[in-house]
Structure 1
Amino acid sequence: MIFKRLFSLSYVLLQGILLFAACGHADHLDHTQTDAALQKSRYVSVRGNDLNKGTESKPFRTIARALEAISPGDTIFVREGAYHEKVMISKSGSSAKLITIKPYPNEAVAIDGEGLSIFGTEALVTIRNARFIQFEGFEIRNFKTQAKGNDVNGIIIDQGSKNITVRNNRVHHIENNASPQDGRSGHGILVIGNTAEALQDIIVEDNTIHDCNTGYSENLTINGYVDGFIIRRNKVYNGENIGIVAAGGYAANATASLNYVRNGLISQNEVYDIDGRTGPIPAFAQHNGAIGIYIDGARDIIVERNSVYRCGRGIGLVSETDHFPTRDCIVRNNEVYHNSLAGISLGGYLNYTGGGTLKCYVVNNTLFHNNIDKGYFDEIEGEIRLVESCTENIIQNNIIVAQPNSVFIHKYTNTGKSNAIDYNLYFSTGEGQWIWNGKVIRDQHTWKSTLIGDTHTIFGQDPGFISTTQADFGLRDSSPALAKGKFIGQAIHGELDLSGQARFESNRISIGAFQK
């Protein structure tokens, strides 16, 4: 079933990308037509007037007024300056006539929340029950609250919106600074399926999100009934909680069967310097548990070709909520390094949730020198960590380089079953070890016999990275990882490695995130 779903998802996403590209070309052509053309441009300027007609020579003053005036196929050009307003986008375009909102070419435009009031859940930009919208190129900044009960956001997409692209925006200083005991919450970008109609064909790409105080929430969130999305080439950094999350089980949607994210791609993002110790969560005060990329109670998600470093944990395939396991997901071709705790974590939390992680793949990742700090129980969590209810997961073709006297793989309990581990490369310049169901294992022979597997793995050979000091984890010609992995299938491994090169040649695949 997962192969069919992945093929269908890839086909749908490809068609969506082609459609958006085609529509963008049509938009360019329409700008060369006469004034009688159906597609028009509306203009906004800080020196304009909302009583104007919205032409280039007589622009509107506010983005809100321009949104009132648009029709399918129109483009709103916003002239340089700062606009202190909350923007609500609720009109729709069509597949042939996108609505586009963007700055005038080569001009910098900020939507600035300084001085704006916040009541309940609000955003500087909201895309609500809309279709075929492109929002791109803005700075979204300075939306802050200290009041109890507010949820402050840079951008929200919700209520069944479809065919939405949010591209090339810079979102920063979105801050909930309420007292920690008041349970503060906020998001840089929030994609939330909160109705009986799914959010679909959502693309969030090439954005930068930084320096946001999100409290108990996250920097870039996909939650609830979202069916079909792409989160790619975003940069997320300097956050106090999770970088990117695809979630389920958090009451975003009132119907339990709809209340989880599905069929998505999280690709080519860079997530770093996410430090939970700077936020309000008591458990993070001593231990940085903020995860860079987090799949929590979601299904059929691909996490590929991302760089995650200097976070709490690197990548999580985890369930925090009973009855919402993370399942049928793939984590592949990522580099995960220098994180405070585990590099990649699977399973439910100890003595907390039984949701678990089911039938997921962790393949062709490169993990390097994570576990900088001790875990919540004064333990080493492990480069790869399995906690509660991990069942039928495959961990294969990964380069796992542990710090001296650290842990390669740590399975905490005897819950879960049938996890297949093989064709990995383990290396440490000092003693490396494994922990399996509480048993410490210090040699490869005991590890193999305990696991009853990992028979094709490479032990103790330097993987031959180009430069660990420069975090260049490409492989030298002499690397023992070259062409030593096991090929499962393109649907599992993907077409490209982390550098954009072909992932395999003649069904020969290397271990780690890079083919070479």
Structure 2
Amino acid sequence: MSPTGDDAAAGTESAPVRTLAKALTLAGPGDRIRALAGTYAERVLITGDVRAGTAEAPITLEGVDTPHIVPGSAQGALVVVERPHWRIKGFDIDVQNKPSFAVAFSGDTEGTVLSNSEVHNAQYGAGISFHNGAHGATLEKNHIHHISLPNKDGHGVMVQPTARNITVRDNVIHDNSGDSIQCYSTDGSDPSAPADGLLIEGNDLYGNIEQSIDIKTCYNVTVRHNKMHKARRHPTLGGNGAMVVHLSARDVLIEENDFYDAGLAIGVGGNRFGASPSGIVIRRNRIRDMITEGGMTGGGLQMAVSTGTQVVNNTFTRLQGPAIVMGSGDGGPTENMVVKNNIIDAAQAMQVGSQAPGLTTGSNLYRPGATFLKAGATLNLSQWQAQGQDANSYEDAAPVVQETLAPGPAAVDRGEHLDFEATCGAGPDIGAVESSC
């Protein structure tokens, strides 16, 4: 198809049609639509009478030399996807600051992929939305940016209630008035409704007014191998951290991410109406180079109300604030938290409030002179150990190799055996990086 084609034509390479709408009606399983360079001012509706692909024979909609999709006379999301096994790639999807989604996925989207496209300039609550039962869809290798509303949230990607098994992988998402990625559901919803099964992997997320990632009441979320950075406090809207997990989130794994250049890496908990966040695992993350610019806290983790959160095998270094704050009572207690096998190369190691029942710490490596603030008293490691914590933890002057964030010699093979992975050396290393692998 081509902007100079004719919708009365056959739709072949030698007789292309003109509009995306016409091309969609001609395609069936195994077909490839090639959209030549140019501008298509129309909505792309992969819905209605448009046919589905199959796992064995997907339908491909491919842009050649990055054709532009822009708003035409009709209102609504520029691209609507309600069919399984479509491959959409290679487009510039420019909403031109109109109030609509750029791309909306809903219904049966199993096996459908949007990739290698630029999605930008929507004045709406999100650039890309998964809702109304969307399931099995993937965003991969896209550039998503400048989704913005004045003094309101405009998220790069939003995963809404009833969405299932969504993958957001290897995208660059930045400069939005909300979050790069938000998994959204309020407390008090039908328990079958929250999004379930979200994989956020390998993305570069930065420069938003809010967070890189915000996980609200969503279940079974994995956040892995992402970069989250360049968070700044907005002069009127605030902001501090790179990631939050709150409301009644459940079973969230945060592993092998790189957090830096923000006021805080991760906040868990806070105000909520339903159950506390539970099943949160934070492991093998590199949390470094946090800042206090504009009143940000410059720390690592802010752990508010939650149940059973595990903080294991992370590396904290070059922090201007405390590595871990917990038990302040914000929304309720921080119950049964586990902090083990971490390199905590920070002057302020922990701040522990009065509401941290069941806290267990051990096998951590601290810098010499690290402090622990508990009940208003500043303790050194020995005094902290006398409180019944960190009995087998110790200090070392070089806990981490700064150039690579690998464990220093005192951290190698010195960790506690935990049940989430096999070790590569004589024992597990303390910190985020396993030196023997």
Q: Structure 2-normalised TM-score? A: 0.82
Mapped to 2, the partners of 1:293 and 1:75 lie a distance apart of 39
2:114 to 108, 119, 135: 135
Mapped to 1, the partners of 2:35 and 2:44 lie a distance apart of 13
* Residue aligned with 1:142, SS: strand
**C-alpha displacement of 1:75:** 4.2
**C-alpha displacement of 1:105:** 7.8
Match of 2:351? 410
Per-residue CA deviations over 1:293-343 (Å, capped at 9, x if unaligned) read 222231111111111111221122224313242111211111011123221
**C-alpha displacement of 1:415:** 1.7
Mapped to 2, the partners of 1:86 and 1:321 lie a distance apart of 39
Please say if residues 242 and 293 of structure 1, whose CA atoms lie closer than 8 Å, have aligned partners that are also in contact.
Answer: yes
The answer as to 2:198 corresponding to 1:229 is: yes
Match of 1:201? 165
Please say if residues 212 and 238 of structure 1, whose CA atoms lie closer than 8 Å, have aligned partners that are also in contact.
Answer: yes
Match of 2:135? 162
2:405 to 459, 469, 473: 473
**C-alpha displacement of 1:462:** 1.4
The answer as to 2:251 corresponding to 1:300 is: yes
* Residue aligned with 2:386, SS: helix
Per-residue CA deviations over 1:204-246 (Å, capped at 9, x if unaligned) read 11111122222xxx11112232111211011111211110122
Unaligned runs of 5+ in 2: 68-89, 186-193, 292-296
**C-alpha displacement of 1:57:** 3.6
Unaligned runs of 5+ in 1: 1-43, 145-150, 249-260, 348-355, 372-379, 495-502
**Matched letter for residue 103 of structure 1:** G
Match of 2:360? 420
* Residue aligned with 1:385, SS: strand
Match of 2:229? 272
Please say if residues 87 and 125 of structure 1, whose CA atoms lie closer than 8 Å, have aligned partners that are also in contact.
Answer: no
Mapped to 1, the partners of 2:43 and 2:360 lie a distance apart of 50
Match of 1:192? 160
Match of 2:87? none
**Matched letter for residue 474 of structure 1:** A
1:435-450 equivalences under 5 Å are: 435-441=373-379, 443-450=380-387
Structure 1 runs, 4 residues or longer, greater than 6 Å off: none
**Matched letter for residue 440 of structure 1:** T
Match of 1:11? none
2:413 to 478, 483, 488: 483
Mapped to 1, the partners of 2:267 and 2:60 lie a distance apart of 35
Q: 1:72 to 1:327 in 2, by over 3 A?
A: farther
**Matched letter for residue 423 of structure 1:** S
Mapped to 2, the partners of 1:436 and 1:102 lie a distance apart of 59
**Matched letter for residue 324 of structure 2:** I
Q: 1:59 to 1:461 in 2, by over 3 A?
A: farther
Please say if residues 345 and 400 of structure 2, whose CA atoms lie closer than 8 Å, have aligned partners that are also in contact.
Answer: no
* Residue aligned with 2:137, SS: strand
1:361 to 296, 300, 310: 310
Mapped to 1, the partners of 2:228 and 2:414 lie a distance apart of 29
Mapped to 2, the partners of 1:83 and 1:332 lie a distance apart of 46
1:110 to 92, 111, 123: 92
Mapped to 2, the partners of 1:327 and 1:268 lie a distance apart of 22
The answer as to 2:212 corresponding to 1:243 is: yes
* Residue aligned with 1:447, SS: helix
* Residue aligned with 1:445, SS: helix
* Residue aligned with 1:325, SS: coil
Mapped to 2, the partners of 1:60 and 1:437 lie a distance apart of 72
Q: 1:464 to 1:346 in 2, by over 3 A?
A: closer
Please say if residues 98 and 134 of structure 1, whose CA atoms lie closer than 8 Å, have aligned partners that are also in contact.
Answer: no
Q: 1:512 to 1:158 in 2, by over 3 A?
A: same
2:342 to 372, 375, 398: 398
**C-alpha displacement of 1:59:** 3.9
Please say if residues 88 and 126 of structure 1, whose CA atoms lie closer than 8 Å, have aligned partners that are also in contact.
Answer: no
**C-alpha displacement of 1:506:** 6.4
Per-residue CA deviations over 1:319-372 (Å, capped at 9, x if unaligned) read 43132421112111110111232212211xxxxxxxx1111211111111223x
Please say if residues 424 and 434 of structure 2, whose CA atoms lie closer than 8 Å, have aligned partners that are also in contact.
Answer: no
Mapped to 1, the partners of 2:46 and 2:231 lie a distance apart of 31
Q: 1:336 to 1:66 in 2, by over 3 A?
A: farther
Q: 1:457 to 1:106 in 2, by over 3 A?
A: same
Task: Provide the aligned length of Structure 1 versus Structure 2.
Answer: 390
Mapped to 2, the partners of 1:165 and 1:308 lie a distance apart of 24
Mapped to 1, the partners of 2:361 and 2:391 lie a distance apart of 9
Mapped to 2, the partners of 1:75 and 1:437 lie a distance apart of 65
**Matched letter for residue 118 of structure 2:** E
Mapped to 2, the partners of 1:66 and 1:395 lie a distance apart of 56
Please say if residues 85 and 112 of structure 1, whose CA atoms lie closer than 8 Å, have aligned partners that are also in contact.
Answer: no
The answer as to 2:434 corresponding to 1:515 is: yes
RMSD: 2.5
Per-residue CA deviations over 1:103-162 (Å, capped at 9, x if unaligned) read 348886311112x632xxx31111121322111111112223xxxxxx332211111111
Work out the percentage of aligned pairs sharing the same amino acid: 24
**Matched letter for residue 420 of structure 1:** T
**Matched letter for residue 125 of structure 1:** V
1:345-384 equivalences under 5 Å are: 345-347=302-304, 356-371=305-320, 380=321, 382-384=322-324
The answer as to 2:274 corresponding to 1:323 is: yes
* Residue aligned with 1:159, SS: strand
1:58-207 equivalences under 5 Å are: 58-90=15-47, 92-104=52-64, 109-114=91-96, 117-118=98-99, 122-132=100-110, 133-144=112-123, 151-176=124-149, 178=150, 180=151, 184-193=152-161, 198-207=162-171
Greater mean alpha carbon deviation, residues 59-68 or residues 393-402 = 59-68
* Residue aligned with 1:276, SS: coil
* Residue aligned with 1:338, SS: strand
**C-alpha displacement of 1:416:** 3.6
Q: 1:243 to 1:81 in 2, by over 3 A?
A: farther
* Residue aligned with 1:480, SS: helix
Q: 1:273 to 1:47 in 2, by over 3 A?
A: farther
Please say if residues 4 and 18 of structure 2, whose CA atoms lie closer than 8 Å, have aligned partners that are also in contact.
Answer: yes
The structure richer in helix per residue is: 1
Mapped to 2, the partners of 1:63 and 1:315 lie a distance apart of 43
**Matched letter for residue 446 of structure 1:** Q
Q: Structure 1-normalised TM-score? A: 0.70
1:6-45 equivalences under 5 Å are: 44-45=1-2
